Amino acid sequence: MRSLLEVDGISVSFDGFRAINNLSFNIGEAELRAVIGPNGAGKTTFMDIVTGKTRPDEGRVLWGEPSKSLLKMNEAQIARAGVGRKFQRPTVFEDQTVAANLTMALKANRNPFAVLGWRPSRGSAVRVAELAAEVGLADQLDRKSGELSHGQKQWLEIGMLLAQEPRLLLVDEPAAGMTLAEREQTTTLLRRLAETRAVVVVEHDMDFVRRLDCKVTVLHQGSVLAEGSLDHVTRNPDVIEVYLGR
Ligand SMILES: Nc1ncnc2c1ncn2[C@@H]1O[C@H](COP(=O)(O)OP(=O)(O)OP(=O)(O)O)[C@@H](O)[C@H]1O
Ligand SMILES: [Mg+2]
Protein backbone atom coordinates (compact mmCIF):
# COMPACT_ATOMS: atom_id res chain seq x y z
CA MET A 1 0.00 0.00 0.00
CA ARG A 2 1.20 3.49 -0.82
CA SER A 3 2.08 5.51 2.28
CA LEU A 4 0.29 8.75 3.02
CA LEU A 5 2.44 9.46 6.07
CA GLU A 6 5.97 8.21 6.41
CA VAL A 7 7.73 8.84 9.71
CA ASP A 8 11.33 7.79 9.61
CA GLY A 9 13.75 7.60 12.54
CA ILE A 10 12.41 10.49 14.60
CA SER A 11 13.72 11.27 18.08
CA VAL A 12 12.92 14.00 20.54
CA SER A 13 14.23 14.72 24.03
CA PHE A 14 12.75 16.89 26.77
CA ASP A 15 15.43 18.04 29.24
CA GLY A 16 17.62 15.08 28.29
CA PHE A 17 14.75 12.55 28.52
CA ARG A 18 14.26 10.76 25.22
CA ALA A 19 10.46 10.67 24.84
CA ILE A 20 10.65 9.53 21.18
CA ASN A 21 13.56 7.30 20.26
CA ASN A 22 14.27 6.49 16.60
CA LEU A 23 10.58 5.95 15.85
CA SER A 24 9.43 4.94 12.38
CA PHE A 25 5.79 4.67 11.33
CA ASN A 26 3.90 4.39 8.03
CA ILE A 27 0.23 4.60 7.22
CA GLY A 28 -1.55 4.21 3.88
CA GLU A 29 -4.13 6.45 2.18
CA ALA A 30 -7.14 4.56 3.55
CA GLU A 31 -6.00 2.71 6.62
CA LEU A 32 -7.09 2.38 10.23
CA ARG A 33 -4.31 1.97 12.79
CA ALA A 34 -4.45 1.57 16.54
CA VAL A 35 -1.49 2.79 18.61
CA ILE A 36 -1.20 1.30 22.08
CA GLY A 37 1.45 1.28 24.80
CA PRO A 38 2.00 2.09 28.46
CA ASN A 39 1.64 5.57 29.95
CA GLY A 40 4.54 7.75 28.89
CA ALA A 41 5.36 5.56 25.86
CA GLY A 42 5.28 8.63 23.60
CA LYS A 43 1.90 8.14 21.89
CA THR A 44 0.70 11.72 22.37
CA THR A 45 4.16 13.12 21.65
CA PHE A 46 4.12 11.19 18.36
CA MET A 47 0.89 12.98 17.43
CA ASP A 48 2.40 16.29 18.57
CA ILE A 49 5.25 15.75 16.11
CA VAL A 50 3.01 14.82 13.17
CA THR A 51 0.84 17.90 13.75
CA GLY A 52 3.84 20.21 14.10
CA LYS A 53 3.25 21.04 17.77
CA THR A 54 6.59 19.48 18.72
CA ARG A 55 9.70 19.46 16.53
CA PRO A 56 11.77 16.28 16.50
CA ASP A 57 15.53 16.57 17.07
CA GLU A 58 16.14 14.15 14.19
CA GLY A 59 14.35 12.08 11.59
CA ARG A 60 11.96 12.70 8.72
CA VAL A 61 8.19 13.15 8.48
CA LEU A 62 7.02 12.84 4.87
CA TRP A 63 3.51 13.46 3.59
CA GLY A 64 1.64 12.68 0.37
CA GLU A 65 2.75 12.01 -3.17
CA PRO A 66 5.03 13.56 -4.30
CA SER A 67 6.12 13.60 -0.69
CA LYS A 68 6.61 16.84 1.21
CA SER A 69 8.32 17.25 4.58
CA LEU A 70 5.89 18.16 7.34
CA LEU A 71 8.91 19.35 9.33
CA LYS A 72 9.11 22.37 7.02
CA MET A 73 5.53 23.38 7.80
CA ASN A 74 3.94 25.03 10.84
CA GLU A 75 0.86 23.68 12.63
CA ALA A 76 -1.61 25.65 10.49
CA GLN A 77 0.05 24.56 7.25
CA ILE A 78 0.02 20.92 8.37
CA ALA A 79 -3.68 21.16 9.22
CA ARG A 80 -4.34 22.73 5.81
CA ALA A 81 -2.32 19.96 4.14
CA GLY A 82 -4.93 17.54 5.49
CA VAL A 83 -3.95 16.43 9.00
CA GLY A 84 -6.86 16.65 11.46
CA ARG A 85 -6.47 16.03 15.17
CA LYS A 86 -9.09 15.18 17.73
CA PHE A 87 -8.13 16.07 21.26
CA GLN A 88 -9.49 14.19 24.24
CA ARG A 89 -11.60 17.02 25.62
CA PRO A 90 -14.30 18.13 23.18
CA THR A 91 -13.93 21.76 22.18
CA VAL A 92 -17.41 22.36 20.80
CA PHE A 93 -19.28 25.61 21.47
CA GLU A 94 -21.73 24.38 24.11
CA ASP A 95 -24.29 27.19 23.79
CA GLN A 96 -24.54 26.73 20.00
CA THR A 97 -26.56 24.09 18.21
CA VAL A 98 -25.01 21.09 16.51
CA ALA A 99 -25.83 22.67 13.14
CA ALA A 100 -24.18 25.96 14.15
CA ASN A 101 -21.02 24.21 15.31
CA LEU A 102 -20.78 22.29 12.03
CA THR A 103 -21.50 25.46 10.05
CA MET A 104 -18.65 27.26 11.83
CA ALA A 105 -16.34 24.35 11.10
CA LEU A 106 -17.23 24.54 7.40
CA LYS A 107 -16.67 28.27 7.42
CA ALA A 108 -13.22 27.74 8.88
CA ASN A 109 -12.38 25.62 5.87
CA ARG A 110 -8.92 25.86 4.44
CA ASN A 111 -9.63 27.67 1.20
CA PRO A 112 -9.07 31.39 1.93
CA PHE A 113 -11.20 32.41 -1.04
CA ALA A 114 -14.08 30.36 0.33
CA VAL A 115 -13.90 32.26 3.63
CA LEU A 116 -13.75 35.58 1.82
CA GLY A 117 -17.38 36.48 1.16
CA TRP A 118 -18.58 33.31 2.82
CA ARG A 119 -22.17 33.18 4.07
CA PRO A 120 -24.44 30.31 5.00
CA SER A 121 -25.97 28.97 1.82
CA ARG A 122 -28.19 26.13 0.79
CA GLY A 123 -25.06 24.22 -0.15
CA SER A 124 -23.61 24.57 3.31
CA ALA A 125 -26.87 23.47 4.95
CA VAL A 126 -26.77 20.31 2.85
CA ARG A 127 -23.14 19.74 3.78
CA VAL A 128 -23.91 20.31 7.50
CA ALA A 129 -26.66 17.69 7.30
CA GLU A 130 -24.28 15.28 5.57
CA LEU A 131 -21.61 15.80 8.22
CA ALA A 132 -24.16 15.28 11.02
CA ALA A 133 -25.35 12.07 9.37
CA GLU A 134 -21.77 10.87 8.95
CA VAL A 135 -21.18 11.04 12.72
CA GLY A 136 -24.63 9.80 13.77
CA LEU A 137 -26.09 13.18 14.77
CA ALA A 138 -28.63 13.64 11.95
CA ASP A 139 -31.53 13.91 14.40
CA GLN A 140 -29.63 16.27 16.75
CA LEU A 141 -29.01 19.22 14.41
CA ASP A 142 -31.15 21.68 16.40
CA ARG A 143 -30.00 20.50 19.83
CA LYS A 144 -27.79 22.77 21.90
CA SER A 145 -24.37 21.11 21.90
CA GLY A 146 -24.13 21.48 25.67
CA GLU A 147 -27.11 19.14 26.02
CA LEU A 148 -25.41 16.32 24.11
CA SER A 149 -23.96 13.33 25.91
CA HIS A 150 -20.18 13.14 26.25
CA GLY A 151 -20.02 10.64 23.38
CA GLN A 152 -22.21 12.78 21.14
CA LYS A 153 -19.95 15.78 21.79
CA GLN A 154 -16.98 13.70 20.71
CA TRP A 155 -18.79 12.73 17.50
CA LEU A 156 -19.70 16.36 16.89
CA GLU A 157 -16.06 17.29 17.18
CA ILE A 158 -15.16 14.54 14.72
CA GLY A 159 -17.83 15.95 12.38
CA MET A 160 -16.26 19.39 12.74
CA LEU A 161 -12.89 17.93 11.83
CA LEU A 162 -14.44 16.20 8.80
CA ALA A 163 -15.59 19.62 7.57
CA GLN A 164 -11.90 20.27 6.84
CA GLU A 165 -11.77 17.09 4.74
CA PRO A 166 -8.64 15.68 6.39
CA ARG A 167 -6.74 12.90 4.66
CA LEU A 168 -5.36 11.79 8.03
CA LEU A 169 -7.30 11.88 11.27
CA LEU A 170 -5.45 11.51 14.59
CA VAL A 171 -7.63 10.54 17.54
CA ASP A 172 -6.21 10.38 21.08
CA GLU A 173 -8.10 8.19 23.59
CA PRO A 174 -11.65 8.57 22.25
CA ALA A 175 -13.19 5.90 24.49
CA ALA A 176 -12.44 7.70 27.76
CA GLY A 177 -15.66 8.71 29.50
CA MET A 178 -17.92 7.03 26.94
CA THR A 179 -20.64 4.52 27.74
CA LEU A 180 -20.26 1.03 26.30
CA ALA A 181 -22.88 1.78 23.63
CA GLU A 182 -21.04 4.98 22.69
CA ARG A 183 -17.74 3.14 22.50
CA GLU A 184 -19.27 0.59 20.16
CA GLN A 185 -20.72 3.31 17.93
CA THR A 186 -17.36 5.08 17.94
CA THR A 187 -15.49 2.00 16.70
CA THR A 188 -18.06 1.63 13.91
CA LEU A 189 -17.64 5.31 13.03
CA LEU A 190 -13.82 5.20 12.99
CA ARG A 191 -13.81 2.06 10.85
CA ARG A 192 -16.14 3.71 8.35
CA LEU A 193 -14.07 6.91 8.26
CA ALA A 194 -10.95 4.88 7.55
CA GLU A 195 -12.49 3.51 4.36
CA THR A 196 -11.76 6.83 2.68
CA ARG A 197 -8.90 8.31 4.72
CA ALA A 198 -6.12 7.35 7.12
CA VAL A 199 -7.11 7.20 10.79
CA VAL A 200 -4.72 6.74 13.74
CA VAL A 201 -6.36 5.93 17.06
CA VAL A 202 -4.50 5.94 20.39
CA GLU A 203 -6.43 3.94 22.94
CA HIS A 204 -5.88 1.98 26.17
CA ASP A 205 -9.24 0.19 26.11
CA MET A 206 -8.42 -3.23 24.67
CA ASP A 207 -12.05 -4.13 23.91
CA PHE A 208 -12.24 -0.92 21.90
CA VAL A 209 -9.01 -1.76 20.05
CA ARG A 210 -10.28 -5.27 19.34
CA ARG A 211 -13.45 -3.86 17.81
CA LEU A 212 -11.40 -1.55 15.58
CA ASP A 213 -10.14 -4.79 14.01
CA CYS A 214 -7.05 -3.21 12.45
CA LYS A 215 -3.25 -3.32 12.49
CA VAL A 216 -1.82 -2.32 15.85
CA THR A 217 1.43 -0.50 16.63
CA VAL A 218 2.78 -0.91 20.17
CA LEU A 219 4.96 1.92 21.44
CA HIS A 220 7.30 1.60 24.39
CA GLN A 221 9.89 4.15 25.53
CA GLY A 222 9.41 6.14 22.35
CA SER A 223 10.01 3.27 19.93
CA VAL A 224 7.93 0.66 18.12
CA LEU A 225 8.01 -2.48 20.25
CA ALA A 226 5.72 -4.59 18.06
CA GLU A 227 3.39 -4.21 15.09
CA GLY A 228 0.75 -6.42 13.50
CA SER A 229 -2.68 -7.81 14.28
CA LEU A 230 -3.94 -7.41 17.85
CA ASP A 231 -3.60 -11.17 18.37
CA HIS A 232 -0.04 -11.06 17.04
CA VAL A 233 1.11 -8.21 19.29
CA THR A 234 -0.70 -9.44 22.40
CA ARG A 235 1.13 -12.77 22.11
CA ASN A 236 4.49 -10.96 22.00
CA PRO A 237 6.30 -11.62 25.33
CA ASP A 238 7.83 -8.12 25.35
CA VAL A 239 4.39 -6.54 24.94
CA ILE A 240 2.98 -8.72 27.72
CA GLU A 241 5.85 -7.71 29.98
CA VAL A 242 5.76 -3.93 29.46
CA TYR A 243 2.06 -3.36 28.86
CA LEU A 244 -0.43 -6.16 29.25
CA GLY A 245 1.04 -7.89 32.27
CA ARG A 246 0.81 -4.86 34.53
N1 LIG B 1 6.36 19.05 26.42
C2 LIG B 1 6.93 18.13 27.21
N3 LIG B 1 7.91 18.48 28.07
C4 LIG B 1 8.52 17.57 28.86
N5 LIG B 1 8.23 16.26 28.85
C6 LIG B 1 7.28 15.85 28.03
C7 LIG B 1 6.57 16.75 27.16
N8 LIG B 1 5.67 16.03 26.43
C9 LIG B 1 5.81 14.74 26.83
N10 LIG B 1 6.77 14.64 27.77
C11 LIG B 1 7.21 13.38 28.40
O12 LIG B 1 7.41 12.45 27.35
C13 LIG B 1 6.98 11.14 27.73
C14 LIG B 1 5.96 10.66 26.75
O15 LIG B 1 4.74 11.32 26.99
P16 LIG B 1 3.43 11.10 26.15
O17 LIG B 1 2.42 12.05 26.67
O18 LIG B 1 3.75 11.17 24.70
O19 LIG B 1 3.04 9.61 26.52
P20 LIG B 1 1.72 8.79 26.15
O21 LIG B 1 2.18 7.53 25.50
O22 LIG B 1 0.78 9.65 25.41
O23 LIG B 1 1.14 8.43 27.60
P24 LIG B 1 -0.38 8.31 28.10
O25 LIG B 1 -0.82 6.91 27.73
O26 LIG B 1 -0.27 8.47 29.58
O27 LIG B 1 -1.19 9.38 27.44
C28 LIG B 1 6.45 11.27 29.16
O29 LIG B 1 7.48 10.88 30.04
C30 LIG B 1 6.15 12.75 29.28
O31 LIG B 1 6.27 13.16 30.62
MG1 LIG C 1 -1.12 10.37 25.78
For residue 110, count other CB atoms closer than 10 A to its CB. Answer: 16
CB 19 within 8 A of CB 54: no
- Is the CB of residue 189 less than 8 Å from the CB of residue 159? no
pLDDT for 108: 77
* Domain segments of the chain as ranges: 1-82+167-246, 96-165
Q: How many helices (H) and strands (E) does the chain have?
A: 10, 10
- What is the value of pTM for the model shown? 0.93
pLDDT at position 91: 80
Residues 131 and 140: beta-carbon distance below 8 Å: no
pLDDT tens column, 25-72: 999 999 999 999 999 999 999 999 999 999 999 999 999 999 999 999
Q: Minimum mean pLDDT among 58-72, 108-122, 206-220, 224-238: which range?
A: 108-122
CA–centroid distance, 34 to ligand 1, in Å, is 18
Say what the pLDDT of residue 151 is.
94
Which is it for strands 83-86 and 168-172: parallel, antiparallel or unpaired? Answer: parallel
In the chain, the largest separation of any two C-alpha atoms, in whole Å, equals: 59
Distances (CA, A) of 10 to 7, 22, 68, 85: 7, 5, 16, 20
Question: Could you tell me which CATH number the domain at 1-82+167-246 has?
Answer: 3.40.50.300
Q: Which residue has the least CA distance to atom 24 on ligand 1? A: 39
Output the pLDDT for position 144: 98
Q: Is 164 helix (H, G, I), strand (E, B) or coil?
A: coil
DSSP 57: S
Regarding the beta carbon of 169 and ligand 1, being less than 6 Å apart is answered no
Nearest to 97 by CA among 178, 182, 156: 156
Q: Is the CB of 39 under 6 A from ligand 1?
A: yes
Closest residue CA from atom 2 of ligand 1: 14
Atom 12 of ligand 1: nearest residue by CA position: 19
Dump pLDDT digits (tens) for 61-112: 999 999 999 999 999 999 999 999 997 777 899 999 999 999 999 987 655 5
Work out the mean pLDDT of the chain and round it to a whole number.
93
Distance from residue 172's CA to the centre of ligand 2 (Å): 7
Give the pLDDT confidence score for residue 117 in this predicted structure.
57
CA distances from 192 to 169, 188, 196, 199 (A): 12, 6, 8, 10
Alpha-carbon distance of 67 to 224, in angstroms, equals 23
Q: Which residue has the higher pLDDT, 101 or 124?
A: 101
Report which of residues 110 and 6 the model is more confident about.
6
- pLDDT of amino acid 180: 97
